[in-house]
Amino acid sequence: MACSPSTEAPCAPPSTGDTTREDAISPPGMTLPNQSETPAEVPPRQASGDSEEERPCAFLGIPAELRNRIYREALVPKADTDRDTISISPGYDDTLRELPPEPPLLRTCKQIREEATSIYEQENQFFVELEDFDVRNVQRWWSTFQRPEKVSITIVPV
């Protein structure tokens, strides 16, 4: 579910899954036309009657301080044992620029990405296993961060 502030495109309402094709395109009491007369794809009508443009995202409506606490809970491990170790081998390829893969929370919408990325990058400690002592691969991965100078990386020789 993608979210955006109420001044922009809002959250899409969740699908209830119980809308039939008849409910989706015909008012109550009417039957569907013959299959040959029906368009190939007809989007279902939303059960609440609200269009996507009318529903603001509730999460982005809560105070920023609370959103930041939620981001920290979701993105920053409490103990070193909960942290992932990134292994960068000699065959590391530039196409694999996201090691580790970015958390799904950062992919929900632009505003959440902007608010939460600095917490993820600056309040985590990343452990990197380096097989060949060639730090160029680590530098390429490290440079993908928004503010790499604020990122804490520990290199662990294998």
Q: How far apart are CA 120 and CA 76, in angstroms?
A: 6
Specify if 66 maps to a domain.
no
Band of residue 145 on the pLDDT scale cut at 50, 70, 90: confident
- Helices 64-75, 110-122: axis angle to 10 degrees equals 60
Residue 27 has pLDDT above 90, yes or no: no
In a shared domain, residues 46 and 102 = no
In a shared domain, residues 151 and 84 = yes
Which one-letter amino acid corresponds to residue 27?
P
Residue 147 corresponds to which tokens in the numbers above? 């503010």
Q: C-alpha angle 150/96/1, rounded to 5°?
A: 80
Q: Quick one: how many helices (H) and strands (E) in the chain?
A: 4, 3
Specify if 68 maps to a domain.
no
Q: How far apart are CA 139 and CA 125, in angstroms?
A: 16
For residue 67, count other CB atoms closer than 10 A to its CB.
18
Specify if 17 maps to a domain.
yes
Specify if 69 maps to a domain.
no
Predicted TM-score (pTM) of this structure = 0.54
Q: How far apart are CA 12 and CA 8, in angstroms?
A: 12
Q: What is the pLDDT of residue 10?
A: 44
Q: How far apart are CA 131 and CA 129, in angstroms?
A: 6
Residue 34 has pLDDT above 50, yes or no: no
Q: Which residue has the higher pLDDT, 54 or 19?
A: 54
Number of domains in the chain: 2
Domain of residue 132, residue span: 76-157
In a shared domain, residues 26 and 84 = no
Percent of the residues in the chain that have a pLDDT greater than 90, as a whole number: 22
What is the rounded average pLDDT of the residues 7-34? 43
Q: How far apart are CA 74 and CA 117, in angstroms?
A: 12
The pLDDT tens digits for 105-133 are 999 999 999 999 999 988 888 777 776 66
The pLDDT tens digits for 40-73 are 444 444 455 555 565 678 999 999 999 999 999 9
Specify if 110 maps to a domain.
yes
